[in-house]
Amino acid sequence: MSAVNWDQIREWDEKYVFHVLATKDEYHSLPVESAEGCYVTLADGRRIFDFANQLVCVNMGHRHPRIQKAIREALDKFGYVWEGMTTEYRSRAAKLIMEDMGVGSWAGRIRFLATGTEAVETMVLMAKLFTGRRNIVTRSYDYHGWTNALSGANGVRGYRSSLASGGGRPSIRDVPDAPSPNYHYAPAPQCYRCPIGHTYPNCKDKSGTLACVKATEHLIQVIGIETVAGFLTEPAQGAGMIHPPKEYFPQIREMTRRLGILWLDDEVMTGFGRLGEWFGYEVYDVTPDIMSVAKGLVSSAVPASGVVLSKEVAAFFDHWRFSTMSTFGSHPLAMAAVAANLQAMLEENILERVRKLGAHLGTRLQELEARHPSVGLVSGRGLMWAVELVKNKQTREPFVTVDRYSIYAKTEAVPASQVVGRIAFEEGVAVGAFLPNSIRLATAFIATEADIDFGIRAMDKGLTELDKQCE
């Protein structure tokens, strides 16, 4: 046991640190001693399987030896140099993405930044500068970041940097000038509970176009095509926990090209192998105009993100001087970690591993779906899965009726997440429970089938409890 006084640590944390997702009364400090692979060790010595992969972001696992070695070596050479200077690490990172991961087939340049929000923010900024247009269309249930300018792009109301009161059903306080009137929300491709009342695949018209794609085009036409810079989406909704039907992105890409607006592809969560391809767009055999990346870019070992520009967009910016800079963009330690992370992914044949483990996880989850009345749907791909919890499997009635329109405090008012989350945790498994009726499951790519089976057994126990609350 370490000599750290954890009671003191907890006290300072609860007293001085600003916390998210909980009021002061709801917050309970959860001191963590260390993390390794796909496990975290709590201060009380308990070892927890990280079945949420933190924020779906530690792709190669905690403390991957190659990433650690690269950071140590970079530390011996650098304190810091700014993004106006070239390091070996940054050039190698760019080459690995463009040449070895195939992004150079459509993209011209990558700019490195520090966080996912910054990358999406830059993507939106560049889309507006490139097109000279002010409007951005995004979707219900999307999540793109948390800053004042960007949070308007979030399609879950509580994620728009709002304040939610504690207790059961929260009241929401919006930021006074948000969301920006330049964000517009198209319907999410949520076939399980279609937000515009259709049933997949009967929602297709004679030409095969999905109703949600038609509604998106309608929205763009109403706003005025010539005012829309781009359509901003995630390949799979990470916070919203929705995977689209296979026709969705090919049709979206055809539509955005036909209308002459940019497709802004936020791959902060899906990039670098999460869905069993290097990038989510590959799943649907389409390519974007601009793409944001973070999380998996560096397996979250240190802060690093990037915005990738198509050849056409990159060529436009080649003729301009981009007149601001980021102190922490391209930090040498981060660039060393990025290059080592990507090299490890390529050399460890990680895509094949994600596909194999993902198939195993999918099969085990489908078994849970068949067995438990409280599981309405499991959906996912690769190592990014969602479990939809229902009070009534036949009617698909959720436990918390407001579902994805808001966020809920982590109290007993959220029976679904709480019951499964608590029980799984008692069994030594941490699952992701951000929306009231959904559980997010993801693992590091270096997990084993035995790790996944351990996590599934804990979920099984939690769901058995929850089944008792079903109608």
3-state secondary structure of 300: coil
CB-nearer residue toward ligand PLP: 269 or 309: 269
CA distance 108 to 342: 19
| Amino acid letter, 17 | V
Rounded distance, CA 305 to CA 335, Å?
10
The residue whose Cβ lies closest to ligand PLP is 116
Single out the residue of 53, 59, 87, 117 in contact with ligand PLP (rule: CB under 6 A). 117
The number of residues that bind ligand PLP (CB under 6 A) is: 14
Does residue 124 belong to the site contacting ligand PLP (CB under 6 A)?
no
- Compare residues 210 and 239 and give the one whose CB is closer to ligand PLP: 239
Counting DSSP H helices and E strands in the chain, the numbers are: 13, 17
Instruction: For ligand PLP, give the closer residue by CB, 117 or 216.
Output: 117
Residue 143 or 385: which CB sits closer to ligand PLP?
143
Cα 130 to Cα 125: distance, rounded to the nearest angstrom: 9
Could you tell me if 270 and 280 are in contact, meaning their C-beta atoms sit under 8 angstroms apart?
yes
Residue of 37, 61, 108, 116 interacting with ligand PLP (CB under 6 A): 116
Alpha carbon distance 216, 184 (integer Å): 10
Positive or negative, the CA dihedral 151, 157, 158, 159 is negative
215 near ligand PLP, rule: CB under 6 A: no
Beta bridge partners of 397: 392
Please give the C-alpha separations between residue 349 and each of 63, 346, 444, in angstroms, as whole numbers: 19, 5, 14
Answer yes or no: are the C-beta atoms of 376 and 400 closer than 8 Å.
no
Is 115 among the residues that bind ligand PLP (CB under 6 A)? yes
Q: Which one of residues 37, 61, 108, 145 is an interface residue with ligand PLP (CB under 6 A)?
A: 145
Distance, CA of 241 to chain centre: 9
Q: How far is the CB of 146 from ligand PLP (least distance, A)?
A: 6
DSSP H helices, 96-135, are 116-131
Q: d(Cα 435, Cα 442) in Å, to the nearest integer?
A: 15
35, 42, 55, 149: which one contacts ligand PLP (CB under 6 A)? 55
The 288-317 site mask, x for binding ligand PLP (CB under 6 A), equals: ------x-----------------------
CB of 185 to ligand PLP, least distance (A): 16
Stretch that binds ligand PLP, among 94-102, 138-146, 185-193, 253-261 (CB under 6 A): 138-146
Neighbours of 94 (CB within 10 A): 21
CB of residue 94 to ligand PLP, shortest distance in Å: 20
Contact with ligand PLP (CB under 6 A) among 133, 139, 144, 160: 144
Show the site string, 229-268: x = touches ligand PLP by CB under 6 A, - = not. Answer: -----x---x---------------------------x-x
- Choose one: 80-88, 110-118, 125-133, 345-353; the region binding ligand PLP (CB under 6 A): 110-118
Residues contacting residue 347 through CB under 8 Å, at least 6 positions apart: none
Query: Which one-letter amino acid corresponds to residue 292?
Result: S
Among residues 164 and 269, whose Cβ is nearest to ligand PLP?
269
Which residues make Cβ contacts (< 8 Å) with residue 359, sequence separation at least 6?
none
In the complex, the residues that contact ligand PLP under the rule CB under 6 A are 55, 115-117, 120, 143-145, 234, 238, 266, 268-269, 294
